[in-house]
Amino acid sequence: MNHRIQGIDRPTAPDPRGSGAPERTESKPTASPGVPRTTTPGPARPTPAQWGRTLAAGTVTGTVHLPRPQRTCPHAEAPLAPAGLPRRGTAPRTQPFPVQHLTDAWGGLLLLVDDDSPLHARLSALRTEDHRPGVPVVLDVLDVPPGQAVLPRARLSVTGWAEAILPADQRRVAQTAAAVRPLGALLDVGTTRSVWRLEVADVRVTTAEGVHLVPEEEFTTATPDPLYEDEDGLVTHLEAAHRDALVGWVLDTLPPHEAQRTREVAVVGADRYGLDVLVTVGAGTTVLRASFTTPVRGAGDVAGALCGLFGCPCREDGRRTHESA
């Protein structure tokens, strides 16, 4: 067998990609039309709000979309296409910029921007042009699974307004962000970097079950997944210390005729509720859910969770079971 492991209600922000007219959405999470609904409860998984809060924490870099500068003559972007055919070559209506996003101590979203970056220049220009304190933005954050062995599991899209923070308050806001996630770059706030506040109007989280509209209060109060930042390290620890136990669990879980045809086993996800295990059976693949007995609250709970799952002793010290991997 080849084994491999690897808020407050506010009006919806104007869409910077459109005419600026507000788009109203439902206030409760909904799935996209056509998404089949499960009638029987399955293994526990992160909720859309938990996925959104996990991606908002800033472990992976996000992309912020801002309105693109308008040309003098919009009709000069591309010639008109023949009747019935779409126009080609028209410029996108928004500009994408990579951004380090994070949260403050109350769950609010922040953007950490280099003062000499194109993003800072564009934010400042839009703020001056519109004569308004807030710049319409869309923050997009895509989940990155361990080893990128499978498609992204979730996507966060936040529509709102980027608002400049007064120079006198920059350091104070940076300190609240550092209390949540101590980034070295926060030490430069007030000198070469600045913090912008993202006032949220609309939160959407896309998972395999569809697109969910998450109320701001639910999004703000949800907690990030405690294993996400060190997920790659945990997967490495499973490869090094729990290989035999993991394979044994897979073989015990699959029906006998599928267990005999199993060729590869790979952990492709880990969260507070359990593991996602990709299994190659013959010419096909399937994902098994290995659920923990109780959700883990931090790295210190991982040892007991794995022992309960696999029924094996863990030789790590129980405080950070994957640090030595």
CATH number at residue 172: 2.30.110.10
In the chain, what's the furthest Cα-to-Cα distance?
71
Instruction: Provide DSSP, 166-219.
Output: PGGGHHHHHHHHHHHS--GGGGGBTTTEEEEEEEEEEEEEEETTEEEE--HHHH
Identify whether the C-beta of residue 196 lies closer than 8 Å to the C-beta of residue 167.
Answer: no
Co-location of 208 and 241 in the same domain: no
Residue span of the structural domain in which 257 resides: 231-310
Residues 262, 285 within the same domain: yes
Residues 189 and 239 in one domain: no
**Residue 256 belongs to a domain with what CATH number?**
3.20.180.10
Among candidate residues 221, 255, 273, the one where a domain is terminated = 221
Instruction: Specify whether 187 is located in the same domain as 280.
Output: no
**Total domains, the chain:** 2
Residue 8 within a domain: no
Q: Within this chain, do residues 208 and 285 fall inside the same structural domain, yes or no?
A: no
Domain termination site, one of 166, 195, 221? 221
Domain boundary among 221, 243, 271: 221
Residues 197 and 261 in one domain: no
How far apart are alpha carbons 238 and 6 in whole angstroms?
8
Assess whether 241 and 162 both reside in one domain. Answer: no
What are the pLDDT tens digits along the chain (325 aa)? 333 333 333 334 444 434 333 333 333 333 433 333 333 456 899 999 999 999 999 999 999 999 988 765 555 555 555 555 555 555 678 899 999 999 998 899 999 999 999 999 999 999 988 777 799 999 999 998 886 656 788 999 999 999 999 999 999 999 999 999 999 999 999 999 999 999 999 999 999 899 999 998 999 999 999 999 999 999 888 988 888 999 999 999 999 999 999 999 989 899 999 999 999 999 899 999 999 999 999 988 998 999 899 886 544 444 443 444 4
Look at residue 85 and tell me if it is in a domain.
no
